[in-house]
Amino acid sequence: MTSVSSTETTPIFFDVALAWGKEFAQSADWSDVADRMSLVLLSPLIPSKISQLDPTVLDIAAYWLIIDRNTLTWAPAEVAKELKNGNAVVQQYGPSAAYPDAPDAHVTILRDDAAEKILNSIASDHRQALEARWHIQRATSIHDPLRRYDQLGKMPHSVDEAELERVIRTLWVSTHASARGLHLNRDIQSDSFSMTAGELAAQLLRLSFVLEETAYPTPPYLLQALETTHLGRRIGSWISLLLSPDPIDRSQAQRSTEATLKEVRSILSISYRTKQWLNSPAAFPYRTRAQSGD
């Protein structure tokens, strides 16, 4: 693409991604199911927030194509077979002849009941579900004759409390493990320190989102937590030090990690004060499965 400024790129990216999606939905491949399918643009976010993103995030446009389970017979054969077996299908596309400047497109094709399940509950392998829940609330409907998107957008607002606790517990235990690894790493300029620091920051940013939205975004959007969440704003300066290339900043972040975790724990204690996973996170991963709900 022609080199342009960030403020020019983001509206163009959004407009072209929408236009490409409309062309895709109208293609002959989907003509037999078009009246009962929905296409939504998950990425980028709503136009008012796109300008806050790093332009490198805008290389790929992600879509959900939701097919009514009762019309699979009329979907393309290779797609219908996978969907009938309960699988999603991911297709990748480059720019089209009509839109040569369009970003690469990743289209996830799934049944309507599968989409509802992802947004209604948090499975044990919860990361993809949580990311989907976050993005669907900021998605843009492109083709939706049944107005399915309106219903999908409401689903992430409710969640089972036990499922939510499991997510928070997993993030807290992982945070503690990463913090321990950071404490033991004395070479603050090493690749291993950078990897551990990034992992620790990502866990805390995800936790910041989950506490307020019961969902979190894909990695390129995690830093938004520093501005949009209560916990993110409280630990934002420490996160900045931790991710800094400056060894002095990194060293300062390493020394203050324990104090930061105490602050996070104080917030979690409001709801989970008596939970053993909060009070003894180092021991928790080694407990038996039967005890893991404590």
Nearest to residue 42, comparing CAs of 148, 137, 158, 155?
137
| The pLDDT value given to residue 58 | 56
Q: Given pLDDT bands bounded at 50, 70 and 90, which one contains residue 142?
A: very high
Average pLDDT, the chain: 85
State yes or no: pLDDT of 287 exceeds 70: no
Q: How much is the average pLDDT of 73-96?
A: 89
Q: How much is the average pLDDT of 120-147?
A: 84
| The pLDDT value given to residue 69 | 92
Inter-residue contact 23 to 98 (CB < 8 Å): yes
Give the separation between CA 214 and CA 206, rounded to whole angstroms: 10
Q: Given pLDDT bands bounded at 50, 70 and 90, which one contains residue 121?
A: confident
pLDDT 10s digits, 227-257: 999 999 999 999 999 999 999 999 999 999 9
Asked: is 6-157 a CATH 3.30.460.10 domain? The reply is yes
Of 153-157, 212-216, 223-227, 259-263, highest mean pLDDT? 259-263
State yes or no: pLDDT of 155 exceeds 80: no
Q: Given pLDDT bands bounded at 50, 70 and 90, which one contains residue 95?
A: confident
Inter-residue contact 94 to 104 (CB < 8 Å): yes
- In the chain the first and final C-alpha atoms are separated, in Å, by 53
| The pLDDT value given to residue 124 | 55
Q: How much is the average pLDDT of 79-96?
A: 90
Cβ of 187: how many Cβ atoms within 10 Å? 9
Task: Tell me which of 103 and 229 has the higher pLDDT.
Answer: 229
| The pLDDT value given to residue 9 | 44
| The pLDDT value given to residue 292 | 41
Place of tokens 């136009």: 47
| The pLDDT value given to residue 48 | 41
Q: Give the distance, in angstroms, between the CA of residue 258 and the centroid of all CA atoms in the same chain.
A: 27
Inter-residue contact 115 to 152 (CB < 8 Å): yes
